[in-house]
């Protein structure tokens, strides 16, 4: 009976996949094929994302997705970053008072082969993460993607060496929180930098403004020494990468706390309030 059930489930998944592929790619089941030409809204974005001849309406960054995320709808992205920050703060609040400071023992963790491979791989992970974030205004990627990639490095070290090794090299929960707060501060400063410059010079400006806009002639340079930097987009990506990488690292460290220590602290707190 169980074998028949497995066959039915597998057959259903295969049938659904085939039908969905047919509907999307061939146009069956009443669906039409996607249009060959971009839609009107897509044309507007593509024509204004990087357009030096129409800079007053352009984000001046070749990567359209990053331009949309931090320029066209930057306020939404700031709120999304804030939500993630609050979620991490809530996690820290729940685990407050629960620490696991212990000296690192070389016997902890995995084999010497895994540790050696990790030492080689981690710098490459960090390098790729930096490239994703620093080139996010030019190529697919950005601050969040770079930060998520960078967070793999401490996670790998935590798994292969142990969480005590992270603490031994100075990457503690509190220090990661400082790094995250620094990244969020960078996002906040970048959001207001053009507005403050315009205010000092007596011009109009908008929060999260990147390039000059109608009735607001102030904007950050979109290029430096012949290299496109996308104005505020590069600053946003760097700050977001730092905030995301540190935020995920905090969660990894909290999840690595042994369950018995969590229960011990919680029970002791209950007794103290009893």
User: Cα Rg for the chain, rounded, in angstroms?
Assistant: 24
Contact (Cβ atoms closer than 8 angstroms) between residue 193 and residue 266: no
User: Do residues 248 and 152 lie in contact, with contact meaning Cβ atoms separated by under 8 Å?
Assistant: no
Give yes or no: residues 144 and 30 share one domain: no
How many other CB atoms sit within 10 Å of the CB of residue 235?
22
Residue ranges making up the domain that contains 199: 68-273
Q: What is the pLDDT of residue 231?
A: 92
Let me know: does 216 contact 205? Beta carbons within 8 Å. yes
Percent of the chain residues past pLDDT 90, beyond the cut: 47
Q: Is 61 part of any domain? A: no
For residues 59-77, average pLDDT = 91
Question: 39-61 pLDDT, tens per residue?
Answer: 888 888 888 899 988 888 899 99
Q: What is the pLDDT of residue 70?
A: 92
According to the model, what pLDDT value does residue 223 have? 92
Assess whether 4 and 139 both reside in one domain: no
Same domain, yes or no: 159 and 24:
no
Residue 48 in domain: no
Residues 6 and 103 in one domain: no
Number of structural domains in the chain? 2
Is 51 inside a domain boundary? no
**Crossing angle of helices 232-255/74-94, nearest 10°?**
20
Shared domain for 164 and 111, answered yes or no, is: yes
pLDDT surpasses 80 at 262? no
Same domain, 123 and 23: no
Q: For 193-219, what is the mean pLDDT? A: 91
For residue 53, is it within any domain?
A: no
**14 and 87: one domain?**
no
For residue 46, being part of any structural domain is answered with no
Q: Is residue 40 part of a domain?
A: no
Q: What is the pLDDT of residue 270?
A: 57
Residues 196 and 109 in one domain: yes
Residues 133, 4: one domain?
no
What are the residues whose beta carbons fall under 8 Å from the beta carbon of 61, sequence distance 6 or more? 49, 50, 67, 71, 137, 138, 222, 228, 230, 231, 233
């Amino acid at each position: 009976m169980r074998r028949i059930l497995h066959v039915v489930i597998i057959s259903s998944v295969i049938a659904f996949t085939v039908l969905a592929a047919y509907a999307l790619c061939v146009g069956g089941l009443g669906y039409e094929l996607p249009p060959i030409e971009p839609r009107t809204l897509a044309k507007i974005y593509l024509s204004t994302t990087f357009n030096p001849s129409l800079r007053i309406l352009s984000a001046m960054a070749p990567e359209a997705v990053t331009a949309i995320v931090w320029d066209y709808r930057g306020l939404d992205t700031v709120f999304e970053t804030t939500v993630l920050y609050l979620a991490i703060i809530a996690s820290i609040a729940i685990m407050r008072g629960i620490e696991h400071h212990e000296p690192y023992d070389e016997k902890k963790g995995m084999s010497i082969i895994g540790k050696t491979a990790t030492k080689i791989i981690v710098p490459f992970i960090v390098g790729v993460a930096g490239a994703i974030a620093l080139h996010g205004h030019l190529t697919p990627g950005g601050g969040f993607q770079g930060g998520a990639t960078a967070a793999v490095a401490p996670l790998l070290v935590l798994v292969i060496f142990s969480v005590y090794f992270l603490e031994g090299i100075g990457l503690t929960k509190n220090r990661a929180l400082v790094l995250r707060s620094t990244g969020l501060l960078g996002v906040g400063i970048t959001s207001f930098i053009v507005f403050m410059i315009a205010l000092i010079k007596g011009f109009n400006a908008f929060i999260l403004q990147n390039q000059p806009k109608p009735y607001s002639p102030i904007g950050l340079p979109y290029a430096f020494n012949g290299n496109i930097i996308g104005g505020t987009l590069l600053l946003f990506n760097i700050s977001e990468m730092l905030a995301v990488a540190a935020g995920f690292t905090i969660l990894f460290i909290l999840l690595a706390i042994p369950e018995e220590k969590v229960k011990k602290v919680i029970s002791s707190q209950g007794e103290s309030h009893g």
